[in-house]
């Protein structure tokens, strides 16, 4: 199903460079977010684009997370009338499990808290959905991450997006060679899609947050494990296509404990103590990157989302709640050539 293709776009508007060609040249640019020739940035204007991003302080997962999320959503224009009767899909990051490393995944307390708020506001349905990219055994991932127990206690249902019924949808981004994206039924039937990532560095893309988290909506039965088709097409290009086509409604980032260094799996826990929320995912990711004291302009998918999917410039983002400076904490990142622009602020 995933082999229907067309000539893809390069991120500089020229001929698309293949993953094999880039890696054969000794670089990981196509995978890593492209900070040199293969990913020269063609700037777009952000004129007229504005977004609000809410940052809320939460020192631990025992904090009043439902209260904080409800306050943040209210700042962003959500309330009972805007939620009542709608189908909500919460998409956490459950990329991998390791009992000794709970900082790999979105914490269950954040997911359950968000679900509680949407239920308070009379959502018709709240589903938790993920298509993890590494382990094929979804039940094992749920069990070892603690998410399964938390969802059962809260009476919440989980949908395995890796094995859900799929439907082909026209790829409206065109950054990859894929003519269609095969999307799960649960996602297509949702009125509100909420990306709920963990705040982490990424050894290829630089930073993984709300936009990159949508890799997990792409079903493994079509795109493989760990989403091999998307890696072949290019991480940055795939992120742009998925976000352009899916058009998620909201992001709630778990930045209470993040991950620095060799993310998204092998890195170290990093205490930050905040949630980051917003309706526009590029703006959320740009603010999250600044919280990490890293450079959003060094991240290929953010540079190319600028002016296309939303704003990333500071002057076009209204920060609500806490200021970035009040929660910012320098994240370590791998010392690799393709990540140096990310680390340069």
Question: HEC profile for 69-111?
Answer: HHHHHHHCCCCHHHHCCCEEEEEECCCCCCCCCHHHCCCHHHH
Q: Give pLDDT, residue 136.
A: 82
- How far apart, in whole angstroms, are the C-alpha atoms of residue 154 and residue 147? 11
Give 85 or 134, the one with higher predicted confidence: 85
CA 41 from centroid of its chain's CA atoms:
21
Quick one: CA torsion of 181, 186, 191, 197, rounded to 10 degrees? Answer: -80
Q: How confident is the model at residue 7 (pLDDT cuts 50, 70, 90)?
A: low
- How far apart, in whole angstroms, are the C-alpha atoms of residue 289 and residue 321? 17
Structural domain includes residue 21: no
Structural domain includes residue 3: no
Structural domain includes residue 13: no
Q: Provide the number of structural domains found in the chain.
A: 1
SS3 of residue 24 by DSSP: helix
Cβ(238)–Cβ(215) below 8 Å:
yes
Q: Give pLDDT, residue 5.
A: 55
> Residue 83 belongs to what domain range?
27-343
Enclosing H/E stretch for 250: strand 250-260
Q: What does the pLDDT look like over 198-249, one tens digit per residue?
A: 999 999 999 999 999 999 999 999 999 999 999 999 999 999 999 999 999 9
- How far apart, in whole angstroms, are the C-alpha atoms of residue 190 and residue 83? 12
Residue 225 CB burial class (10 angstroms; 0-12, 13-18, ≥19):
middle
Mean pLDDT of 261-290: 97
Cβ(8)–Cβ(177) below 8 Å:
yes
Quick one: CA torsion of 34, 39, 44, 50, rounded to 10 degrees? Answer: -10
Q: How confident is the model at residue 10 (pLDDT cuts 50, 70, 90)?
A: low
Q: What does the pLDDT look like over 15-73, one tens digit per residue?
A: 333 333 333 333 333 443 333 333 444 568 898 899 999 999 999 999 999 999 999 99
Structural domain includes residue 143: yes
Q: Which residues pair with 132 in a beta bridge?
A: none
Place of tokens 């065109």: 174
Structural domain includes residue 4: no
Residues sharing a CB contact under 8 Å with residue 81, sequence separation 6 or more, in sequence order: none
Q: What does the pLDDT look like over 70-123, one tens digit per residue?
A: 999 999 999 999 999 999 999 999 987 776 788 999 999 999 999 999 999 999
Mean pLDDT of 276-297: 98
- How far apart, in whole angstroms, are the C-alpha atoms of residue 285 and residue 276? 9
CB half-sphere exposure, 79, CA atoms < 13 A: 4
Domain with 204 in it: what CATH number?
3.40.50.11440
Mean pLDDT of 246-269: 97
Structural domain includes residue 10: no
């Amino acid at each position: 199903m995933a082999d229907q293709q067309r000539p893809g776009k390069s991120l500089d508007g020229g001929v698309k460079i293949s993953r094999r060609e880039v890696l054969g040249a000794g670089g990981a640019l196509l995978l890593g977010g492209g900070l040199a020739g293969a990913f020269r940035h063609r700037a777009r204007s952000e004129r007229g684009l504005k977004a609000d991003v809410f940052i809320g302080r939460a020192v631990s997962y025992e904090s009043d997370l439902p209260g904080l999320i409800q306050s943040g959503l209210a700042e962003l224009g959500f309330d009972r009338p805007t939620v009542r009767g709608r189908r909500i899909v919460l998409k956490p990051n459950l990329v991998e499990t390791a009992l000794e490393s709970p900082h790999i995944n979105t914490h269950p307390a954040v997911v359950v808290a968000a679900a509680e708020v949407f239920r308070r506001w009379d959502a018709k349905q709240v589903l938790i959905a993920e298509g993890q990219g590494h382990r094929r055994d979804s039940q094992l991932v749920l069990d070892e991450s603690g998410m399964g127990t938390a969802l059962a206690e809260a009476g919440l249902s989980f949908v395995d997006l890796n094995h859900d019924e799929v439907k082909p949808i026209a790829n409206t981004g065109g950054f990859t060679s894929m003519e269609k994206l095969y999307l799960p039924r649960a996602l297509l039937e949702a009125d509100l899609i909420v990306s709920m990532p963990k705040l982490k560095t990424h050894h290829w893309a630089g930073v993984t947050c709300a936009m990159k988290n949508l890799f997990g909506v792409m079903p493994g039965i079509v795109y493989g494990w760990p989403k091999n088709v998307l890696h072949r097409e290019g991480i940055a290009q795939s992120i742009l296509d998925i976000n352009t086509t899916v058009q998620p409604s909201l992001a709630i980032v778990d930045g209470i404990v993040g991950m620095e260094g060799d993310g998204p799996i092998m890195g170290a826990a990093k205490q930050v103590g905040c949630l980051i929320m917003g309706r526009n995912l590029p703006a959320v990711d740009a603010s999250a990157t600044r919280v990490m004291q890293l450079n959003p302009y060094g991240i290929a998918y953010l540079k190319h989302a600028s002016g296309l999917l939303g704003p990333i410039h500071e002057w076009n983002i209204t920060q609500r709640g806490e200021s970035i400076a009040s929660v910012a904490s320098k994240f370590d990142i791998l010392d690799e050539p393709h990540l140096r622009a990310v680390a340069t602020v």
